[in-house]
Amino acid sequence: MHEGGEDDGELDRDLGESMYVVGFPYLKGWAEARAVADLLSSELARLGCSEETFRVAVGTGADGAGVVRLHVHPSVICDLVRALRLLKQAHPGSLSQGEVRQGAAARRAG
């Protein structure tokens, strides 16, 4: 996972669409986004994606909710689409957001 680089200012502008309020609890949203971003980065690496082909950035929205941005090389999108198709074939039912979060939390804990 890459953090830093020449385009950080652009990401900051993109994530900072609204004015931030002093004293608002943004840290919880940011921490949740950071944990999910770390999980995403490790899973992309496990899929064989080179760290040079993707970058994950985190921030918060004006409401304090975490935001994760994924910047990738087109080849990574192809890998993700293939993985999602295989997942869909193996598990025809769709997963709810809660099930995805529970699975992510279990993987981080284990």
For the chain, the domains span: 8-109
**Residue type at position 18:** S
Query: Quick check: 68 and 104 in contact, CB under 8 A?
Result: no
Per-residue model confidence as pLDDT tens digits over 7-29: 545 445 555 455 556 776 778 99
The torsion of the CA quartet 108, 69, 55, 103, rounded to 10 degrees, works out to 20
Per-residue model confidence as pLDDT tens digits over 54-109: 999 999 888 889 999 999 999 889 888 888 899 888 887 765 555 555 655 665 66
Distances (CA, A) of 70 to 41, 58, 75: 9, 9, 13
